[in-house]
Amino acid sequence: MKTLSLDYIKDKVINGERLTPEEALELYRNSDLTTLGMLANLIRKRKHPNNVVTFVIDRNVNYTNVCIAGCKFCAFYRRKSDSDAYTLELETILQKVQELVDWGGTTLLMQGGINPDLPLRFYEEMISAIKERFPQIQIHCFSAPEIVYLSKLEKLSIREVLQRLKDAGLMSVPGGGAEILSQEVRKQISPGKCSVEEWEEVHRTAHELGMTTTATMMFGHLESIEHIIEHFERVRRIQDETGGFTAFIPWTFQRGNTELDFVEPASSVYYLKVLALSRIYLDNFENIQSSHVTQTMPVGMIGLHFGANDLGSVMIEENVISSTDFKVSIPKVEDMVQAIRDAGFIPAQRDTYYRIVRRFD
């Protein structure tokens, strides 16, 4: 068929035309790594002709590790009865935010497990206290599964939960809990979490309430490329209708202390091909992030030539990936700046909303 010939599909990409799911599948299956990278890099240059690559200084505070979801890919969660289960005291959380401020950070990323002992009031008081003491910090917190669980726990709608959290000081919502937005995959790896439709409702509702969110994808486990394109299609459709996503952030599953340790680790080639395809398919996303945390900095830098215009974060704290066997290396600001320069770009620190805070020309 003409519409599925590889040359026709590549011409569509070069001409800035939108691909269908079938065309994306054909492109992935029949293009080599360099072709996908070339096409993705072409699109990145169109969207970001100034050659700037951004990063953020943030802190990922996991306020509790108690979780009843039981996701098969997670090495971080604990049962309430486990000796190392915890819920942080408010004062400890505030100390962590103070360290973030002292470090020059702009973004507080805070997520935890689905802890049945924590009511909505706990979250409101925590956010209010942070907002009152640190009004300059952008509060980017709570994944869709946490929001959905709170709505069920409190017998409130998702909109009511989000509105109350926004009133307390929540500013934006991370895309965590997406994994793969295909129910076929979710029932295998995270049956205790919210459904695809519930994840979508959280993000649509947040957008309607004036909050931005990110779209994420954790892959490299039990999914097929068809599932990945299903994920792309869903977030592209939401972005068409709301425009509320600031970025798309894909990363790979890391094994070690999980129920999916039998899965072969995703190769860097697979990661880069999927990263490139995300830039090609998600034509309505301005920002695509390359993952140095799960891929190492050298691969993260290569990702900047495969469609990404952001290299993620200089994190003061990271606990989830570190719970696996993967050795996480968190760069300092000067390391991040140098890595971006070495990749051939102009480094710039951004905030949660992808606004430039400081350029390193």
User: Which residue do the tokens 């999914």 mark?
Assistant: 223
Residue 67 and residue 115 in contact, taking contact as beta carbons nearer than 8 Å? yes
| Residue closest to 64 by CA, chosen among 89, 46, 45 | 89
Distance CA 170, CA 120 (A): 13
Distances (CA, A) of 280 to 24, 161, 225, 269: 8, 35, 15, 17
Distance CA 203, CA 175 (A): 8
Q: What is the reported pLDDT for 1?
A: 44
Q: What is the reported pLDDT for 317?
A: 60
Residue 193 above 60 pLDDT?
A: yes
Q: Parallel, antiparallel, or unpaired for β 356-359 and 138-141?
A: unpaired
Residue 311 above 90 pLDDT?
A: yes
* Confidence band, pLDDT 50/70/90 cuts, at residue 3: low
At 8, the amino acid letter reads Y
Whole-structure pTM value: 0.94
What is the rounded average pLDDT of the residues 249-268?
Answer: 88
Residue ranges for the known binding site for [4Fe-4S] cluster are 67, 71, 74
pLDDT in tens, 71-120: 777 777 788 888 989 999 999 999 999 999 998 899 999 998 899 999 99
Q: What is the reported pLDDT for 33?
A: 97
Residue 121 above 70 pLDDT?
A: yes
Q: What is the reported pLDDT for 356?
A: 97
What is the rounded average pLDDT of the residues 245-264?
Answer: 90
Residue ranges for the known binding site for S-adenosyl-L-methionine are 73, 179
Residue 316 above 90 pLDDT?
A: no
Residue 197 above 90 pLDDT?
A: yes
Residue ranges for the known binding site for (3R)-3-methyl-D-ornithine are 143, 291, 313
Q: Read off φ and ψ for residue 249, nearest 5 degrees.
A: -130, 100
* Confidence band, pLDDT 50/70/90 cuts, at residue 329: low
Q: Could you tell me the two tokens for 87? A: 């819920």
Q: Which long-range contacts (CB under 8 A, 24 or more apart) does 161-166 make?
A: 161/120, 162/202, 162/205, 162/206, 162/209, 162/211, 163/209, 164/120, 164/124, 165/120, 165/123, 165/124, 165/127, 166/209, 166/210, 166/211
| Residue closest to 60 by CA, chosen among 344, 318, 244, 320 | 318
* Confidence band, pLDDT 50/70/90 cuts, at residue 320: very low
Contacts of 306 (CB under 8 A, 6+ apart): 36, 37, 40, 41, 272, 275, 276, 279, 290
Q: Which of 7-11, 15-19, 228-232, 256-260 has the lowest mean pLDDT?
A: 256-260
Residue 250 and residue 217 in contact, taking contact as beta carbons nearer than 8 Å? yes
Distance CA 208, CA 361 (A): 37
Residue ranges for the known binding site are 67, 71, 73-74, 143, 179, 291, 313
Residue 247 and residue 285 in contact, taking contact as beta carbons nearer than 8 Å? yes
Residue 322 above 80 pLDDT?
A: no
Q: Which of 215-224, 233-242, 298-307, 320-329 has the lowest mean pLDDT?
A: 320-329
Residue 255 and residue 261 in contact, taking contact as beta carbons nearer than 8 Å? yes
What is the rounded average pLDDT of the residues 125-151?
Answer: 97
Distance CA 213, CA 221 (A): 25
At 185, the amino acid letter reads V
What is the rounded average pLDDT of the residues 284-302?
Answer: 94
Q: Is 98 in a helix, a strand, or coil?
A: helix
Residue 190 above 50 pLDDT?
A: yes
What is the rounded average pLDDT of the residues 16-27?
Answer: 97
Residue ranges per structural domain of the chain: 21-359
- For the domain 21-359, what is the CATH code? 3.20.20.70
At 354, the amino acid letter reads Y
What is the rounded average pLDDT of the residues 326-334?
Answer: 69
Task: Provide the 10 A C-beta neighbour count for residue 218.
Answer: 23
At 195, the amino acid letter reads S
Distances (CA, A) of 270 to 37, 218, 281: 12, 13, 16
What is the rounded average pLDDT of the residues 250-266?
Answer: 87
Q: What average pLDDT is seen over the chain?
A: 93
Q: Could you tell me the two tokens for 348? A: 């710039």
Distance CA 300, CA 310 (A): 10
Distances (CA, A) of 43 to 16, 93, 354: 8, 41, 18
Residue 175 above 80 pLDDT?
A: yes
